Amino acid sequence: MVRLERIRVHPVAALDGTSVQAVDLDGSGLAWDRRYAIVDRPPGSGSDDGFGAQYVDRNRERRIHDLETDYDLDRETVSVRESGADETHTFHLELDRDCFASWLSDYLGYPVELVRLDEASLPGDAASPEATIVGDATLERVASWVDGLDVEALCRRLRPNLVVGDAPAFWEDRLYDASERVVPVDIGSATLLGIGPCPVPPDDADIGRESDRFREMIAERRQATLPEWAHEARFDHYARLTAEALVSDSSRGETLSVGDTVSVGRAVTVPDPAD
């Protein structure tokens, strides 16, 4: 029986994640996942309308990869240090937001803000209620394709939220259908809606720079071994692993827990909002 084996959230979008035993579902997806983001606002861009603001992400800012973070979500704190450094700085994510932003600004060399995404007026969909899902057998299979790559390093690159066990490799390719359809995924008492396969991030989390050959190799192997249950029309390119899912409106307020059973329903057409 397929079960939820690991839950991982990323409280600050660009920084390391943290594993939890349970997570609530809310209007932003998994509670605590991408609750905050680091934002670079060029001078004169304004502080409220989002014009000119850019997310400081792992692709654009390589120095992010040299930060190590630990979280205490009960206390709502983050501890951060430069890789290899002895000194650690701890901030309350809400009460010390300006102090944390000041520390990040000094580290990055330009002014940034730490914004709460459910309060911000910013471009893009960083606060959309989504989660990424993958099977542990998939991670093991893909890691075996690359000499010297282990499952943990692959997870750092893919940054999946939910890892399931007792499922065949590439089980998550069952979680999407045609673009106008969603696939219900029941996890415990909650339902997520699978919407499509996710691209492999361009950056290598361990070296902080792009490694195009890795993505090319993934694309070649995926195209050659795509399982029969995958909806191939959804692959505009084959450098795609993990599946993306939305939290259904009816499941907001539910909780996902490690050990929950997981089952996949039949694809259904997305309702027209006008109906």
Question: pLDDT band for position 274 (50/70/90)?
Answer: very low
Q: How high does pLDDT run on average in the chain?
A: 88
**Token pair of 194 as six digits:** 């699978």
- Give residue-wise pLDDT tens across range 44-53: 555 444 446 7
pLDDT-above-70 percentage for the chain: 87
Helix, strand, coil content of the chain in percent (nearest 5): 20, 35, 45
Of 97-111, 114-128, 166-180, which gets the smallest average pLDDT?
114-128
pLDDT, greater one: 270 or 173: 173
User: What angle separates helix 136-144 from helix 151-158, to the nearest 10 degrees?
Assistant: 110
Cα–Cα distance measured from residue 171 to residue 164, given in angstroms and rounded to the nearest whole number: 9
Candidates 2.40.33, 2.60.40, 3.40.1000, 2.30.29; CATH matching 3-30+127-269? 2.40.33
pLDDT surpasses 50 at 200: yes
pLDDT, greater one: 201 or 212: 201
Judge whether 17 and 69 are in contact, CB under 8 Å: no
- Which of 162-166, 205-209, 216-220 ranks highest by mean pLDDT? 162-166
Report the run of H or E that residue 215 belongs to, with start and end. helix 212-225
pLDDT surpasses 70 at 8: yes
Cα–Cα distance measured from residue 46 to residue 240, given in angstroms and rounded to the nearest whole number: 37
Taking Cα atoms as reference points, which of 144, 132, 140 lies closest to residue 197? 132
Over range 68-94, report the average pLDDT: 95
pLDDT surpasses 60 at 167: yes
Of 194-203, 213-222, 264-273, which gets the smallest average pLDDT?
264-273
Q: Fill in the amino acid letter for 186.
A: D
Question: pLDDT band for position 233 (50/70/90)?
Answer: very high
**pLDDT, position 118:** 79
**pLDDT, position 209:** 47
**pLDDT, position 207:** 46
- Give residue-wise pLDDT tens across range 93-109: 999 999 999 999 999 99
Q: 66: number of CA atoms within 13 Å, CB side?
A: 10
**Token pair of 92 as six digits:** 């309350």
**Which residues of the chain are in CATH 2.40.33 domains?**
3-30+127-269
Cα–Cα distance measured from residue 151 to residue 93, given in angstroms and rounded to the nearest whole number: 30
**pLDDT, position 261:** 98
